[in-house]
Structure 1
Amino acid sequence: MGGFGGAASTGGVAGTDFSTPLTKLVGIRYPIVQTGMGWVAGPRLVSASAAAGALGVLASATMSVDQLRSAVREVKSRTNAPFGVNLRADAGDAPERVKIIIEEGVKVASFALAPSRELIARLKGAGVVVIPSIGARRHAEKVAAWGADAVMVQGGEGGGHTGDVATSVLLPQVVDAVDIPVVAAGGFHDGRGLVAALAYGAAGIGMGTRFLLTADSTVPDAVKAKYLAATVKDVTVTTKVDGLPHRMLRTDMVGELERSGHAASLLRAVRHAAAFRRESGTSWSAMIRDGLAMKHGRELTWSQVLLAANTPMLLRASLVEGRTDIGVMAAGQVTGVIDDLPSCAELVERIMDEARSTLKGLPQGG
């Protein structure tokens, strides 16, 4: 389900409002989602994205419960536009975070992993729109059957954890499989991509790297400069960060991780687990519970569960502290074609202008 909605009846010419099932579902002006990126999607970026007409999404996994409530309230103080919060469905404190979303009147709850049927029902019962992220057709079918309002499907081009199937192949499979709006993610950065996604039947696009590389992003300027200097060949997929495929910029640190042995990787993960526990306010018992949930949900080895502690701290080193020598830089392949740092408002308006121009230039039927 998806497509142009009201735009289709106008022939897709300039001036269309680009109304889609996604814009109608969550009450945003444009069918664009700023995805929830840990350490990046904080109140400043989310409020700027929302005010620009997109759906801004807070990344809560790298926040304590108290920090999440504070961040939600800060976004609300900056804009009246709808926004969302991204959650880890397997986190032990997920019910507490859901409670905050409900109490604070957040419009959307998105999930990096499929939430349970019960969690979906609880959120929907409170009027919250539920949008899980999925990486396979069968996962989309499962969450749709459980009552999810929409799904975000990320192809292999995307940053962070990713699969092998390109967006152009995965997206139409999911669109054909479910009767709820589908948001396409992985490789999008401009108006041409938005039109292509809508033509495939999507109801909108999700972008992470493109919003990271804006003037409203809190990522240090020196780190942004490294992203801007990268080519498409400077982005690689490694399993050495946390045992799962992760798309990163090719840096000396990633090279070091690739060369390190198993024992060294596990020792680093133990140190990072302790650091993340302090950062997030999570107890050791809660981290163990979360590890058990991760192991069961993804059929991971204990080594992979332990290595998962690497990801948030290695990302924090680069994206918060600016220490690219000791951190890693999550990056979609689209990094190699981005060369500027507009504000969120400028970016969204540019994308919509490009989309209108692209539609205007398409051959007319009849």
Structure 2
Amino acid sequence: MKTRITELLNIEYPILQGAMAWISYAPLVAAVSEAGGLGIIGGTIMTPNQLRDEIHQVRDLTDKPFGVNIISLSPWIAQILELLVEEQVLIATYGTGNPRKIIEQLKPGGVMSFPVVPSPNTAKRAQDDGADGVIVSGREGGGHVGDLTTMVLVPQARDVVDIPMVAAGGIGDARGMVAAFALGAEAIQMGTRFICTKEAVCHDNAKEFIVRSGPRDTLVTGNITGLPVRCLKNKMSQTYAEMESTGKPKAMMAMFGAGKMQQAFQLGDIEDGSVMAGQVCGLIDDVPTVAELIQSMMAGCDRVLDRLPR
């Protein structure tokens, strides 16, 4: 399957792996790239030295293209941007900060920029700022989310941008992939679905929790703080939601939430940790290898297309 995204990124299939802190390490990233997609390192929690080591580990495992996800709020952002250019990473994705400033530093060094955006307006801004492509992410997704669902976001973003566009949020099988293309996307990005693969570097407790969860087992916290996050319902997230509803100070909530994602995904504490995952968890009932997942996605696309009315 060829699209502008596959041609631009030199990948076989139009599938990107969403970058997730505490999960998207070299084994997962390399497996996705080896299987024909684009693996992306979750670099937001890494120091420059840690990120450099992770990039080298990926290159020890594959010679295929891959990307790095960054955050402008990192205290090392200047060094990290220099590092991406120095290491000639293919693509950087990011969801916060001023896209223009990041693009201006990366583009001259040959690193492509794909901002992750929650609205048509921010997609248009990214294009105007010179982004090479854009990832539009709907509210169904896990982790940090916006207000618009993927179904309405993707076509509206397509109407205002001409650059290559990736759809994300609530996509976990071939049906979602085909739907995304029908809405105007040229590739998809999946996060939650890739957590539940054998190569994902996270605790089995978290994978099993996602597998046994349904589409109504998530909630969005952080609406009051301005940083909404979708995660699975558990003791931690429900306590946080109660703190919000009773008007607890933002500083108190920030302190309560600190370190909770690591607690869940690396230590396996799925009650007191934050298990960020999307509504697509209701579609997930297995933990395949990355290669098995991508091949089933592509084969499934053909079956879905064959079933469509003509």
1:37 aligns with 2:24: no
Equivalent in 45, 48, 57 of residue 31 of structure 2: 48
1:362 aligns with 2:279: no
* Aligned-residue offset at 1:67: 0.6
Which residue of structure 1 aligns with residue 283 of structure 2?
A: 337
Paired AA for residue 348 in structure 1: I
Which one scores higher on RCO, CA 8 angstroms, separation ≥ 6? 1
Which residue of structure 2 aligns with residue 266 of structure 1?
A: 251
TM-score by length of 1: 0.80
d(CA) in 1 for partners of 2:96 and 2:115?
A: 7
Question: Does the CA-based 8 Å contact 1:52-1:348 persist in structure 2?
Answer: yes
Equivalent in 199, 204, 208 of residue 225 of structure 1: 208
Go from structure 1 to structure 2 and tell me whether the alpha carbon gap of 1:314 and 1:219 turns closer, same or farther (over 3 Å shift): same
d(CA) in 2 for partners of 1:146 and 1:134?
A: 13
* Aligned-residue offset at 1:363: 3.5
Equivalent in 324, 348, 364 of residue 270 of structure 2: 324
1:133 aligns with 2:119: no
Which residue of structure 2 aligns with residue 7 of structure 1?
A: none
Which residue of structure 2 aligns with residue 245 of structure 1?
A: 228
Question: Does the CA-based 8 Å contact 1:241-1:257 persist in structure 2?
Answer: no
d(CA) in 2 for partners of 1:213 and 1:233?
A: 18
Paired AA for residue 72 in structure 2: A
| TM-superposition CA deviations, 1:150-191 (whole Å, max 9, x none) | 000011101112122110101000011011011000110111
Tell which deviates more after alignment, 241-250 or 22-31.
241-250
SS in 2 for 1:196: helix
Gaps of 5+ in 1: 1-17, 273-309
SS in 1 for 2:45: coil
1:209 aligns with 2:192: yes
d(CA) in 1 for partners of 2:66 and 2:163?
A: 19
1:170 aligns with 2:153: yes
Number of equivalences: 308
Go from structure 1 to structure 2 and tell me whether the alpha carbon gap of 1:340 and 1:147 turns closer, same or farther (over 3 Å shift): same
* Aligned-residue offset at 1:337: 1.6
SS in 1 for 2:189: strand
* Aligned-residue offset at 1:112: 1.3
Question: Does the CA-based 8 Å contact 1:114-1:133 persist in structure 2?
Answer: no
Which residue of structure 1 aligns with residue 65 of structure 2?
A: 82
Question: Does the CA-based 8 Å contact 2:218-2:232 persist in structure 1?
Answer: yes
Which residue of structure 2 aligns with residue 142 of structure 1?
A: 125
Question: Does the CA-based 8 Å contact 1:41-1:57 persist in structure 2?
Answer: yes
Paired AA for residue 68 in structure 1: L
SS in 2 for 1:232: coil
* Aligned-residue offset at 1:264: 7.5
Which residue of structure 2 aligns with residue 288 of structure 1?
A: none
Runs of 4+ in 1 over 4 A off after TM superposition: 240-243, 261-265
Which residue of structure 1 aligns with residue 81 of structure 2?
A: 98
| TM-superposition CA deviations, 1:224-254 (whole Å, max 9, x none) | 1111111111111122896522111111222
Tell which deviates more after alignment, 84-93 or 181-190.
84-93
| TM-superposition CA deviations, 1:249-298 (whole Å, max 9, x none) | 1112222222336558634634x7xxxxxxxxxxxxxxxxxxxxxxxxxx
SS in 2 for 1:124: helix
Question: Does the CA-based 8 Å contact 2:165-2:185 persist in structure 1?
Answer: yes
| TM-superposition CA deviations, 1:188-230 (whole Å, max 9, x none) | 0111211111111111101000001111112211221111111
Q: Highest Rg: 1 or 2?
A: 1
Gaps of 5+ in 2: none
Which residue of structure 2 aligns with residue 13 of structure 1?
A: none
Which residue of structure 2 aligns with residue 20 of structure 1?
A: 3
d(CA) in 1 for partners of 2:217 and 2:248?
A: 28
Tell which deviates more after alignment, 213-222 or 170-179.
213-222
Give matches, 1:271-310, under 5 Å.
310=257
Tell which deviates more after alignment, 145-154 or 219-228.
219-228
